[in-house]
Structure 1
């Protein structure tokens, strides 16, 4: 008995587990790996959320947001207005289009670049807002998972209370079942 006790004491005694330590040389500890991954994911999401967090509280920010909303509707309404003016007064419309025909090509290129940069910047801003909302959603995922678990526990009857709920730790009660069927 002393030999086996000595062997187990050597392998597992003194707060050490030689077998575990040896296996971890060849295979990663799954629990520690999961913890490291969870820590990395939390740190990444926190840094991602901070990166896109830009508070806009001042009147200047609100005014700029309002001005940024003007060009797209103005372009759309202006284009519709051109169609209406072509139908209402074709002569007036044709004379205006002759003026546009005189615009030099480099000016058209400049207009195209300005419009492209504007819409490209708006696309970038909207994309960052979308990524920020995804980050906020991912940050709520553990809470949602916990709530779903609680709801599933309630659905399975683990959280039943009231006069019809069986007492905790009680087994089947034939008299109670007969009484319930008699009702």
Structure 2
């Protein structure tokens, strides 16, 4: 019986369990792993409570309010653009003609800023020659845009001569012909 006591003493003696210690090399101790995860989560919660749990002053509340503005501002801005396109198409078309002059790399930069703001991790490579090509395209397009804006402004209701029928004689006669209007007839009688 002495030899069994010697073997068991070597394996389990001295407060150690050689089999369990050997097994933990290949598979982590589940109880210890859970304890480490709980400690890490508790530390993260304590850090967040220290950062966000304190009462903020007026400046902190102001900055938090500013941080919450971009998303609703972008959403309401898009809704405003749809409404303005229906309300005043000429005004809207003038603004869109101006946007035609924005270079492609600037659109890419704006898209990246918005994408990063909303959490996307998208980067666009910028090639040195693309800016020169884009600048040449914009310079070539600028006279067309200026002509389009002038044409659009001529269509405004408050522009002198906007209702000019030009060389269309039928339209000129129809515009000068007096039509029957009961309200005007009543007013003339009074």
Larger relative contact order, structure 1 or 2 (CA cutoff 8 Å, min sep 6): 1
Q: Shorter chain as normaliser: what TM range? A: 0.3 to 0.5
Give the alignment's TM-score, normalised by structure 1. Answer: 0.46
Higher Rg of the two aligned structures = 2
Give the alignment's TM-score, normalised by structure 2. Answer: 0.44
